[in-house]
Amino acid sequence: MKGKKLTVAILSALMCASLIGGTASAATPHTSAEKGTVEMTNKVDIHYKTADEIAAENNYNDNPFGLVYRGAITKNEAGKVNIHPISYMSRGLKIAANVYTPAGWKESDKNKYAAIVVAHPNGGVKEQVAGLFAQRMAEKGYITIAADAAYQGASEGEPRNLDIPSSRVEDIHRMADVIALFPGVNPDRLAALGICGGGGYTAKAAQTDKRFKAVATLSMFNSGMVRRNGFLNQQAQMDVIQKRLEDASKARAEEAAGREARYTPDMIDMPRAEAEKLPYAFTATAGSTTASRTVIRNPRSATRSRASWIS
């Protein structure tokens, strides 16, 4: 990558504190109503969102792109990093993503830039920490992409807020498909960066996706281990694995019978006694438990009213 190193160590103080909530269901391939056939094409068709589409989707804060991190882009200007909101299909679902291009990028560029796929944390969305790192790496000369995982954020998928490991890994493969075809990208110079839960999924994707020439993670979270052993390998959680599996089985049966999906509690719903067991500093405000760090809310965050922290 022309001597550049994919490094995030200088920003490692920015830690992911998102916790995932959701149900477990299998992803469904797209079915054509006319033909009655299952469409499993991998062909990429990138849709560049119009100004009206962008405005309609991002009307909940002052940033026209819905970005919530410090120093976020507020408009595209010549000679600076620009943002390109796009959408594309993955396994029959429309995925929402942002592509960041470095200063001086031109659509007519051919195979000029290395590119980085950025996978967001469990409980996060592309407008938060994934967008921050995507923008910062674009400032260093890369073309980057940050997408909302399927079933999460502005991406399609029902029930909402699922965090399916196989789906999250496929999200990363699909981002590579898309960014490899973006104008100016050299498809032989792809890298991947995963943050928190996205780090674990990125490592898994990189095991088989040989398009990635470099892989980096920040605060990598092993979702598989947590699903098996509980958060931080807490013995109290390990003792109730069978109970949790029983609850999950019942929830699946309820969904199959047409009932609403059941969700695990998020940080807003969690009782104070449970919140105090978590490895974060909390304070009580107006009768509720809130994080003592800066809380930046995004209504499309991946778990209902999920809060994410940026220190």
User: Would you say 195 and 172 are in contact if contact means Cβ atoms under 8 Å apart?
Assistant: no
Task: State the DSSP code for 79.
Answer: T
Closest by alpha carbon to 92, among 28, 167, 37? 28
**pLDDT tens column, 223-274:** 877 777 777 666 666 677 788 788 889 988 998 999 988 877 666 667 777 7
User: Would you say 131 and 58 are in contact if contact means Cβ atoms under 8 Å apart?
Assistant: no
pTM reported for the whole predicted model: 0.76
Residue 304: the pLDDT is 35
Determine if the peptide bond prior to 121 is cis (ω within 30°). Answer: no
d(CA 193, CA 184): 20
**pLDDT tens column, 11-63:** 333 334 333 333 333 333 333 334 444 444 678 999 999 999 998 888 888 99
Residue 112: the pLDDT is 92
Q: Is 16 exposed, middle or buried (0-12, 13-18, 19+ CB in 10 A)?
A: buried
Q: Cα 107 from chain centroid?
A: 26
Structure tokens at 213: 């020439």
Task: State the DSSP code for 65.
Answer: T
**pLDDT tens column, 261-304:** 887 766 666 777 777 776 665 544 444 433 333 333 344 543 33
Tell me the three state secondary structure of residue 89. Answer: strand
**pLDDT tens column, 54-106:** 988 888 889 999 999 999 999 999 999 999 999 999 999 999 999 999 999 99
- Please report the domains of the chain, with CATH numbers, ordered by start residue: 45-229 (3.40.50.1820)
